[in-house]
Structure 1
């Protein structure tokens, strides 16, 4: 991990240039360009807000004086970021196969390059989230800045998993489809669209089940930052658990990636 950090510092200009090029490359030949990247997530938010909001099932968020939409957005925005990291990074070695075959290129940087490209899109959604809260009459809080910390936490968690999925997908082509299915199922394993009390009131043991999912920490953190104003150090147990799992994923994922690296060029 320390060698990876040194490599990032040494080649930071190249990483930023490749990330910008990757972001532009997505929209080559498209009339509306980057607009398509934002339409689907915004439509998804609108659908869930309609179904579970005042015109649908009228779900009540667990925070008083907050509409369902205001409660939904901080939960679903980091999920969009995470799911894009996983979808984009899983097939990155096939996408950049010409760089993988170059002996001198440190291919461990490829998931980081794609992650930075995804971060540009995430920055737009953070801006939309802030504007939505302002137009809804919410006064800015110091805790809003904390979403940058939780964005970093999401990026680290996604990167650790990406080293596994991207390495496996070279040898097992169906990995991309499996990741997509797991993400569709995984969004319901975190209380993003629903209040966890719907289940924990009936079965208190499920509270432990929810918190064992590292992404629970991120969703709760975004909502703490935007709604309640709580800071991450007010969840010391969850913070330590999340970073222990994430750092372990990064360490083991990078070791796994590097152990398979000599065989990538032969298969690709």
Structure 2
């Protein structure tokens, strides 16, 4: 637990530097690009349209388990946190190589680099949450006070990405294939959580399918986003899943931080 407390102290002390570098990292993504920030939205928008076409009105006609909810309204609260989580994990995994010139500086606290990448991804995620809220207003969905709860679930997803990210970015310095492994795992991961499909297609056939799906920690995030946006349910109405998720996430974060701390003295030698 000392690793977490040390990280929190570092974040508080370097909060201004983290914020400034995060904004610079956000702007750097679009330097030299003709369409600039448009690309930030284009790929996720195309993804939503493809899934909506395949599973929605014109394809397999997946019916959401929410009365009077269009498929796209049910789909977006699952995809928005996934876009955030997958982008954060990918960015954090390669952050030490990207900022190798900072890693080699003795006085720079390398532990904050994954935080900088995470905050940069949070800025992008904020735009997508605004778009999600606007979509719900356009579709005239009921307004719930629980909409504010997506901030809690976004924080939960951020902690999971950070935990895995500390592990993968540290290993990636010595084992460059880690970036490709993370990409492949994320391709599988989007199908291991009921983001595009209704989980009933599996749980109706096997009682173990529900258990397997819920063992995936991201199930909690997807279900939580939909609870917040579509039904008005709160996170304490899923007590078992909440406890499981945070126990899993804290263990991953501790393992990631411990691995990072142990390998950190060798980063500058390899980079």
The runs of at least 4 consecutive aligned structure 1 residues that moved more than 3 Å come to none
Report deviation, 1:88: 0.7
Instruction: State the TM-score, normalizing by the size of structure 2.
Output: 0.98
CA–CA separation in structure 2 for the residues paired with 1:139 and 1:188 = 28
User: For 1:95-114, what per-residue CA distance to the aligned partner results, in whole angstroms no more than 9, with x for missing partners?
Assistant: 00011011111111100000
Partner of 2:244: 241
* Structure 1, unpaired ranges of 5+: none
Partner of 2:138: 135
CA–CA separation in structure 2 for the residues paired with 1:128 and 1:186 = 24
What secondary structure sits across from 1:253 in the alignment?
helix
CA–CA separation in structure 1 for the residues paired with 2:142 and 2:213 = 31
- Aligned runs of 1:157-168 on 2, under 5 Å? 157-168=160-171
CA–CA separation in structure 2 for the residues paired with 1:90 and 1:11 = 21
Q: Is 1:185 the counterpart of 2:188 in the alignment?
A: yes
- Aligned runs of 1:109-148 on 2, under 5 Å? 109-148=112-151
Report deviation, 1:55: 1.3
CA–CA separation in structure 2 for the residues paired with 1:91 and 1:23 = 15
Report deviation, 1:8: 0.5
* Structure 2, unpaired ranges of 5+: none
Report the count of equivalent residues. 268
Q: Is 1:195 the counterpart of 2:173 in the alignment?
A: no
Q: 2:39 aligns with which of 6, 31, 36?
A: 36
Q: CA RMSD in A?
A: 0.7
Instruction: State the TM-score, normalizing by the size of structure 1.
Output: 0.99
CA–CA separation in structure 2 for the residues paired with 1:202 and 1:62 = 17
